[in-house]
Amino acid sequence: MSQRNRQSRSSIGRNFWMFVEAPQNFEITREIDFSLFGMGAKYRRRAERMQPQDRVLFYINGVRKWPASATITSTYFEDNSLLWHPTTRGESFQYRVKLKPDIVLDEEDYIDAMILGPRLDYVKRWAPENWPLAFWDRLHLLPQRDFRLIEGEMERITSRNNRTNKRENPEPRTDDDNDVGMINDEIQNQAETPPSDRSDDDSSTENCSQLE
């Protein structure tokens, strides 16, 4: 791609992709910390459109769930090293882009596409009962609104889990906090102690003051 075309592309704005993975290949991508994604020869033109700062949602085919989002950090390049498992005869993954993960959900928190999917603009071309067919291919360009809707749900889940973890695992008090607490307790005890309970030293001091 020429420098002029790249500048033109960057002026248009980011793309919002959805990468569809078979369960076993998604686990491989997860094991390498979502640092890489590979595509076959039929996707070369779409790979050429991918640029740094493009956003990505992962979708697991079969289980129909969204588990993670990421950002593309490179233009595409060719690499024939074996990494993922072919799911069809002759499938390859030689066209690749580098990624960095943004949100990665725990498995129990994966977003169920059967609940959220029918709300997407992207699936409106299909009959309501057939909307999962919209995700049959491996690569999809989503409307930004759809992307934000799904990633927004990921952010909500992540925020909820963070609040729960803070309640269940409060931060331990530091030594400084303990010292301040002890001083405050001592001041409170002195304020609550009646005159009759004061020490002999305090009484002697009062008697001396009276004699003077």
Least confident of 2-11, 38-47, 156-165, 173-182: 2-11
What does the pLDDT average to over 24-49? 96
**For residue range 101-153, what is the model confidence (pLDDT) as tens digits?**
999 999 999 999 999 999 999 999 999 889 999 999 999 999 999 999 999 99
Q: Choose the most confident range, by mean pLDDT, from 13-17, 148-152, 159-163, 166-170.
A: 148-152
Cα distances (Å, whole numbers) of residue 122 to 10, 93, 138: 24, 26, 15
11-15, 70-74, 125-129, 205-209: least confidently modelled range: 205-209
> Across the chain, what does the average pLDDT equal?
82
- pLDDT given for residue 9 in this prediction: 39
Task: Single out the residue of 115, 121, 87 nearest to residue 18, CA to CA.
Answer: 121
pLDDT digits (tens, 9 = 90+) for 171-204: 666 555 555 455 555 555 655 555 554 444 444 4
* Residue 165: pLDDT band with limits 50, 70, 90: confident
pLDDT for the residue numbered 159: 94
- pLDDT, greater one: 175 or 82: 82
Full-model pTM: 0.73
- List domains and CATH numbers for the chain: 16-165 (3.10.590.10)
- Given a contact cutoff of 8 angstroms between Cβ atoms, the answer to whether 131 and 123 are in contact is yes
pLDDT, residue 94, reads 94
Q: Is residue 63 over pLDDT 50?
A: yes
Q: Quote the tokens at residue 73.
A: 């950090």
